[in-house]
Amino acid sequence: MAAPSAPYGDVTTQGASTNIAWHHASVDRAARAQRRGHRSAILWFTGLSGSGKSTLANAVNAALFEQGLACYVLDGDNIRHGLCKDLGFSDADREENIRRIGEVSKLFLDAGVVVLTAFVSPFKADRDRARALVAAGDFIEIHCAADLDVCEQRDTKGLYAKARAGEIKDFTGISSPYEAPEAPELRVDTGSQTLEQSVELVLEHLRSAGIIPQAG
Amino acid sequence: MAAPSAPYGDVTTQGASTNIAWHHASVDRAARAQRRGHRSAILWFTGLSGSGKSTLANAVNAALFEQGLACYVLDGDNIRHGLCKDLGFSDADREENIRRIGEVSKLFLDAGVVVLTAFVSPFKADRDRARALVAAGDFIEIHCAADLDVCEQRDTKGLYAKARAGEIKDFTGISSPYEAPEAPELRVDTGSQTLEQSVELVLEHLRSAGIIPQAG
C-alpha cells in the first residue's frame, strides 16, 4: 500500500485490488471497440414526419441489442423534454437543437455506442454540421424516403391535418421545405417497403461497412 | 415475407432474419441491465479545481472498463468544447452548463451506462437539479474533499495563481464560493489519500449499492 502522503496521481501498482486501473488511465474508443467486438457509429435518420424514422431507428436498435451490441436511440421523446426543452421552433432554435443532438451523438460515439438519431432534420446545412463533427465513416446518413403523400395519408400524429388547417406554422413538407439528402449513405423507401425489409437494409449496410459483425 | 403494401409498423415475424427485433420494439433500461449484468448510475464528482475529480473519475472508469462494464466520463475535455461551447462563465451560463450535463447524464443512464461526471459544480442548487432528473439511487454524489490549501498548492493547471493575481474572475474557492455537499453519497479525502485508495472507496460503494457485481 502506498503511503497516504504519496502525491495524488503518483500511483503504485502494489497491493491494491484496483491496480488494473492504471494500465488504462484513459479508456479510448479503440479499446471499447475491441472489448465490445463492434465499432461505434452515428446512424442519422432523416425524413418527413410520418416517414418512419423513429419506428425504423427503434427496430434497428432492438435488432442490434439482440445481437449484444451497445446501442441507443435519440429521438423527440428523450431530447425535446430534456436536453433541448429550452428550445422552441424558431430557425435559430431548430439549428441549435440539431447542433446539440450532433454533439451528444459524438459523445455516444466516443463511448463506443452505436447511436441512432431520429429527427426530421430538414436542412442540409444542419445535417452537414453534425457530420463534420466526426471522422469520415462515423456518420451514416439514412434517408427515410417516404413520399409526402404517403406520410400525409398516414398522419400518425395528426400533425399534417393541423398543418393544413394552419394550426402549425412552418411544418416540414407543407409550409417549410424538406431538403432531401443528395448522397446519403443509405436511402430506404419507407413508403412502400415493410419495416422488416427496411431494418435488413440498414443492418446489411452496417455489416458491409464493417461496423457490426457479419451475421452468425 | 409481408407484401410490400403492408402498412409500416404492421410487422410480420415470417421469414426475415431480423424478426428477433419485434420482440423488443423498445429496449428499456431493465433489459440493458439484465444483458450487461450491472445497473447504470450517475457518479457525480464535485470538488474544487485541483481536488482530483477528473483523475479519480477516469481511474474509476478504467477500473469499471476492465471489469467489462459499460461506462463513460463526461468532463471539461469533451463537454466544454462541444455541447457547451456556446456557454461562457456567467451565472446563467454556468447553471445551463450543469443543466445540460445533467440531461446528458440522464441519457447515458437510460442507455445502461455508468456515467461519471467531473465538474467543479460548486452550487448545491445546480447539483440538486441534476439529482432531481433521475430516480433515487441513480444519482451518486461524490465529494472530492481536498482542502483548498492542498488544491492551491498543487495548482496543476496554474489557475489558482492566475485567480490570486486577479486574472481569472469568480474562481471557485478564491473569489467565488464552493458549496460543499452536506450529505453526499460518498466523501473522498482526495487531499491525503492515494488515488488507489480513493478508487477502491468508490468501487466499494458501487458494490454495496448493488450497482456493480461483487469483486469476483
pLDDT in tens, A152-197: 999 988 999 999 999 998 899 999 999 999 999 999 999 999 999 9
Grid coordinates belonging to B112: 445502461
pTM of the complete model: 0.89
Name the CATH superfamily, with its identifier, for domain A29-208.
P-loop containing nucleotide triphosphate hydrolases (3.40.50.300)
SS3 assignment, position A112: coil
- The confidence score (pLDDT) of residue A25 equals 54
Active-site residue, selected from the candidate residues B49, B51, B54, B121:
B121
B28-208 CATH choice from 3.20.20.70, 1.20.1250.20, 3.40.50.300, 3.40.50.280: 3.40.50.300
Report chain A residues whose CB lies below 8 A from the CB of B207: none
**Cα angle, residue A186 at apex, residues A183 and A191 outer, rounded to 5°:** 105
String of DSSP letters for A114-161: EEEEE-----HHHHHHHHHTS-TTSEEEEEE---HHHHHHH-TTSHHH
The C-alpha atoms of residue A17 and residue B196 are separated, in whole angstroms, by 9
Report the DSSP beta bridge partners of residue A72. A115
The DSSP output letter for B42 is E
B72, B170, B185 from B201: Cα distances, Å:
19, 32, 12
CA–chain centroid gap for A123, Å, is 16
Question: A with B: how many residue pairs have Cβ under 8 Å apart?
Answer: 189
The residue assigned the cell 454524489 is B141
The 10s digit of each residue's pLDDT in B147-199 is 999 999 999 889 999 999 999 988 999 999 999 999 999 999 999 999 999 99
Nearest CA to CA, how far is B112 from chain A (Å)?
A: 9
Task: Decide if B200 and A16 are in contact by the 8 Å CB cutoff.
Answer: yes
- The confidence score (pLDDT) of residue A17 equals 36
B160 neighbors B116 (Cβ within 8 angstroms): no
- The confidence score (pLDDT) of residue B216 equals 52
SS3 assignment, position B105: helix
A201 neighbors A186 (Cβ within 8 angstroms): yes
Nearest CB to B12; choose among A113, A154, A196: A196
Task: Decide if B8 and A100 are in contact by the 8 Å CB cutoff.
Answer: no
Nearest CB to B58; choose among A25, A65, A194: A25
The C-alpha atoms of residue A37 and residue A149 are separated, in whole angstroms, by 42
- The confidence score (pLDDT) of residue A132 equals 98
User: How many CB atoms within 10 Å of residue A152?
Assistant: 19
CA-based nearest residue in chain A for residue B99:
A83
Nearest CA to CA, how far is B20 from chain A (Å)?
A: 7
Report chain B residues whose CB lies below 8 A from the CB of A65: 24, 27, 31-32, 35
Report chain A residues whose CB lies below 8 A from the CB of B27: 58, 61-62, 65, 71
- Between strands A114-118 and A42-46, the pairing is parallel
Provide the residue-wise pLDDT of chain A in tens; the chain has 216 residues: 333 333 444 333 333 333 333 444 579 999 999 999 999 999 999 999 999 999 999 999 999 999 999 999 999 989 999 999 999 888 899 999 999 999 999 999 999 999 999 999 999 999 999 999 999 999 999 999 999 999 999 998 899 999 999 999 889 999 999 999 999 999 999 999 999 999 999 999 999 999 999 875
Task: Decide if B35 and A9 are in contact by the 8 Å CB cutoff.
Answer: no
**Cα angle, residue B142 at apex, residues B139 and B143 outer, rounded to 5°:** 140
The 10s digit of each residue's pLDDT in B49-62 is 999 999 999 999 99
Query: Above 60 in pLDDT, residue B28?
Result: yes
